[in-house]
Structure 1
């Protein structure tokens, strides 16, 4: 198996801890090559943060919906004739490289969001979290939700999600940043963001502060930037100041793979934020969730958490 993964990394020129969109040359990764020799898990970024969803077989869409409902997650998917999207995850050593085939996810229409039964869910919510990956599909949908949140003084959050989002979707990303109350990302994404905006710094703390200072177009709530750095401290920038929070140390022999760690961190963070807990508790919960995920293969977790 290790030889296969190394060959895939070499053949497709993949980078560790990276995420890219699938091109024609990557098509064998999504179906024949992986299905014949590897375990296939399917999920997406925002689903990861709500609940870890694992699935096998070919009825991906039906399985994802069934598993989500079983987990208590209320999903209102847009259904399209295109195949459900897939994501090839290559784990080399302990690091993962993602190659996403959006497929049906790339077909989302804002009309689905505007349906009365779906928009009613938006109106009832108090917190909104959207993965940056959605900027490649329907930025108008993001702006519709962002405007709603801002006009009603609700909390709107996003994730930088991947370096290529910051690099190739810079303009649409910049349009939504004034609405963002909490922005998540990792150190690689933060440095890419800094580079494309000409800030000429790779210092994660400086970048976090600069993002916080990006003008907010609405409301009086100040932006909070939360940046993870793998085994290094989490950087939280708020109100012109930076705080560093240590992560949970893990012996190397217990590290299985880093797939889903970022989404797990956000899920733990949000679990406390919605309860009104202080930022320290939010980060602590995020670190706990990420620590659990990296000790397991893929995006899986124990039946019950023991977080206190």
Structure 2
């Protein structure tokens, strides 16, 4: 059984504004499918336009928060997971708190008085998604909040930490603090490559965090971007996964394991100089609702078994199960109870 507070996530809590949109909408705002970007000025009007033109749903989101919610759902142990991030003091923030508590996650949000809660436009076309994040309050997270006794207490209690790469754009100092704590106390620290732009434009802070990472998650596009940025001159996902797993580590207690998903193709796991591949659960096209949250759900499922010290095979199987459930629903949502055996 997973104990209370065993898993702590930290990231950018965003309220997903999700809708099936017309391909012209993507063109208008210069966004591409299967990508995640930060909103620029030209994207600001799209949030209003989506709400006016399309049938939108509001769902508590943000990559790390999605993974933590899924892990919590898979574990079914109240308070097994905790989460830290910044929201605004507004109705979207209240909605987020309500959603998280209902999901059983112990949230400690930093509430910014002056900035609205962050949002993420989830534009769905033909089941594929494009994400445009307007971080707002999520961008205001401060290490001072993390250092407060009631929040640092969550860090001391946890044995596993998960942070999506997106948080590197907000508070690399907080990531360093948690990474150092994990290395010094033989705990497990995990991150996600998260998006090509993180590997490209936040390379320095990503490299500073890498030595602390015991697990690195990502998808094939992110892995190939990482390879390109580091001049590895290979597009071979297995080779890239191996190279990432062999990157120098701050602590030798745990070997680094790289886990790369490839959509409907097998999941690549690199460990100990070897690569194993695990098939995913294939879904008929007509059952696909949208891929938003699929990668986050995979990580959440994986973590739910990892914190119970299950084998890598079981962790991947749970990840594939969770992702399969999520892509048959709108946004990162799930039924009341998992059906994972």
Q: TM-score, normalised by structure 1?
A: 0.95
Task: Write 1 or 2 for the structure with the bigger share of strand.
Answer: 2
Cα pair distance change 1:27/1:5, threshold 3 Å: same
Aligned to 2:297, the other structure's residue is in SS state: helix
Offset from partner CA, 1:80-115 (integer Å, 9 cap, x none): 020000000111112100000000000111000000
Aligned 8 A contact 2:20 2:123 in 1: no
From 28, 38, 48, the counterpart of 2:66: 48
2:18 is aligned with 1:5: no
Moved more, 228-237 or 35-44: 35-44
Q: Distance in 1 between matches of 2:144 and 2:22?
A: 41
Q: Distance in 1 between matches of 2:219 and 2:49?
A: 30
Which portions of structure 1, spanning 4 or more consecutive aligned residues, are displaced by more than 4 angstroms?
none
From 97, 102, 123, the counterpart of 1:65: 97
Q: Distance in 2 between matches of 1:179 and 1:38?
A: 42
Unpaired segments ≥5 residues, structure 1? none
Report the counterpart of residue 172 of structure 2 in structure 1. 139
From 33, 43, 49, the counterpart of 2:49: 33
Aligned to 1:19, the other structure's residue is in SS state: strand
Report the counterpart of residue 110 of structure 2 in structure 1. 78
**Offset at residue 38 of structure 1 (A):** 3.0
**Offset at residue 51 of structure 1 (A):** 1.4
Task: Write 1 or 2 for the structure with the bigger share of helix.
Answer: 1
Q: Distance in 2 between matches of 1:45 and 1:4?
A: 21
Cα pair distance change 1:216/1:91, threshold 3 Å: same
* Aligned residue runs from structure 1 range 154-233, under 5 A: 154-233=187-266
Aligned 8 A contact 1:153 1:219 in 2: no
Aligned 8 A contact 2:21 2:124 in 1: no
- Which structure would you say has the larger RCO, counting Cα contacts within 8 Å and 6 or more residues apart? 2
Q: Distance in 1 between matches of 2:145 and 2:332?
A: 28
RMSD: 1.4
Report the counterpart of residue 14 of structure 1 in structure 2. 31
Q: Distance in 2 between matches of 1:193 and 1:29?
A: 30
Unpaired segments ≥5 residues, structure 2? 1-18, 73-89
**Offset at residue 186 of structure 1 (A):** 0.3
